[in-house]
Structure 1
């Protein structure tokens, strides 16, 4: 009888051990499965990506990736020469320059676990190194939509939501600052100046266009609005001559100079906004980029500048 009891107890212990081992193996398998997930990128490609990517490389989208709390290990750093507002969001030297966007060797050296690109063609090359997703900011109607999409692709939904809440709060504050400083119905123009030609900046464009017109919602000068409404802007700009610069003048002007003293031309100095101190120079190295994080800082900077000249 005692031998039988001992045998039964031994069998039960063995079954318990097997059950524990099976459970442990199952848990390990579940953890392993959750290390990756499937996403559909903006090129319609199905890609298996890390659930929590740690070493992200991008050939364009530094601002969007920084906005959701990821510091890329590699990027095209010469882009930052025209996106200086981003430099406060990462530590110098911690993002490696991949140089030429097609430099596979430099990307390979960084041992990325995820690559974000703007080009499906590039993605096909990069995916030999690591999972690669195509992103396109032009696919989204607004900055919050864009950042929500980035958050989903990178597994940073909470961070994207937090950014969007902060973004909307700060933009409302900037809009109020402008509304308190200028007459209702005031219009705006953004020019880029060279010695030969002048370019108008569109809404949803680089050089402050997205920040001023789309995000802050400022009204373009009448003839600028006509060009926007008729779709005459090409790649966000429209070339005009120095002789016609006054035809597109708004009550307030922002401008970027490509050459020193180009704003001393008599045609420019005769503009009402210039004569009355309502023309504001903005530096291209801070304003060329139109990513979400840069645009947020541009909008706040523009509001501050408008408020300052109103006080003067």
Structure 2
């Protein structure tokens, strides 16, 4: 780890002599002031590192990172803040919404040789990322605990890390306003008491989600304040998600269902009478979306989710 660098502020004190100073003295003082101002400018702009206060303590990171590797979850946040990526995790790599990753390498926390070859100047991961000590020797490494921060605060922290806090905050303020306004329209359309569920199939499992596990849940429940079925509140709200068998799916299905669908997983339950008899299915109020586009809760994904909800609920 490189030794911490702290900017040194140059203090300039000018003692102006009393009336009667001659022109030569004034000229000399002006030159000294100009030289000092020049030195200050150089001092303020010469440092290319900042200190980020991570959850594990201060980390020295580039003030303007050029070669970032994201090992989990946060690729969309980095992309949204117009910062260059050279490596991303497999889940991010397969996301159709992350335009511009064509030339970006797919890496994991076990691919140390590849990571070294990519020559990153910043690595971002999760608190359970493997090989953190070795990664920190390659480049400044910052991790976050998933779910420790709410989804918008998380983006703000990525903004701070990338030295783009103002840009992150501006997007957050605008997004909250738009999402909440859309929620009011949707509640007026479907009714204040209408319930919404978010389910997803993965491999042979079926999941239902609470209000903070991506898949659009933060928008639906936190910003739009739409209602959640009682069974979902009971089983998924605290943990964030709940695994269920398709036989009990009707107990968790709301008046409206968002189905985050993995087409390459087991979707045979959709052919059963149990599924077909769910009121939301019979009323054509199940809205299917590609799960690979819905996994995350970064600005790129959130913008897509908001657009999807407006289109599905309001027909806009």
State the TM-score bracket (shorter-chain normalisation): 0.7 to 0.9
Is 2:245 aligned against 1:241? yes
Deviation at 1:185, TM superposition (A): 1.1
Is 2:194 aligned against 1:186? yes
The 5 A counterparts of 1:296-307 are 296-307=303-314
Call closer, same or farther: CA 1:151–1:186 in 2, change over 3 Å: same
The 5 A counterparts of 1:1-312 are 28-32=42-46, 34-42=47-55, 44-60=56-72, 61-81=74-94, 83-87=95-99, 91-94=100-103, 96-119=104-127, 122-141=131-150, 143-193=151-201, 198-228=206-236, 231=238, 233=239, 236-257=240-261, 258-308=265-315
Call closer, same or farther: CA 1:172–1:209 in 2, change over 3 Å: closer
* Equivalent residue pairs, number: 285
Cα distance in 1 for partners of 2:106, 2:89 equals 6
Which has more helix, going by share of residues?
A: 1
Superposed CA RMSD in Å reads 3.1
Cα distance in 1 for partners of 2:203, 2:59 equals 48
Deviations 1:107-157 (A, max 9, x none): 22222222222236544222212222223352223x332222211121102
Call closer, same or farther: CA 1:175–1:45 in 2, change over 3 Å: same
Task: Tell me the TM-score normalised to structure 2 length.
Answer: 0.77
Aligned residue for 2:287, secondary structure, equals: strand
Aligned residue for 1:139, secondary structure, equals: coil
Cα distance in 2 for partners of 1:162, 1:72 equals 22
Call closer, same or farther: CA 1:292–1:122 in 2, change over 3 Å: farther
Kindly indicate whether the alpha-carbon contact (under 8 Å) linking 1:252 and 1:273 is maintained by their aligned counterparts in 2. yes
Call closer, same or farther: CA 1:288–1:31 in 2, change over 3 Å: closer
Higher relative contact order (CA 8 A, sep 6+): 1
Deviations 1:184-203 (A, max 9, x none): 21111223358976432222
Kindly indicate whether the alpha-carbon contact (under 8 Å) linking 1:77 and 1:97 is maintained by their aligned counterparts in 2. no
Call closer, same or farther: CA 1:279–1:21 in 2, change over 3 Å: closer
Aligned residue for 1:85, secondary structure, equals: coil
Call closer, same or farther: CA 1:71–1:216 in 2, change over 3 Å: farther
Task: Tell me the TM-score normalised to structure 1 length.
Answer: 0.78
Deviation at 1:242, TM superposition (A): 3.2
Cα distance in 2 for partners of 1:187, 1:26 equals 60
Deviation at 1:223, TM superposition (A): 1.4
The unaligned stretches of length 5 or more in structure 2 are 1-29
The unaligned stretches of length 5 or more in structure 1 are 1-15
Cα distance in 2 for partners of 1:76, 1:144 equals 21
Deviation at 1:164, TM superposition (A): 1.2
Partner in structure 2 of residue 6 of structure 1: none
Deviation at 1:65, TM superposition (A): 1.2
Aligned residue for 1:306, secondary structure, equals: helix
Call closer, same or farther: CA 1:45–1:176 in 2, change over 3 Å: same
Kindly indicate whether the alpha-carbon contact (under 8 Å) linking 2:62 and 2:121 is maintained by their aligned counterparts in 1. yes
Call closer, same or farther: CA 1:47–1:275 in 2, change over 3 Å: same
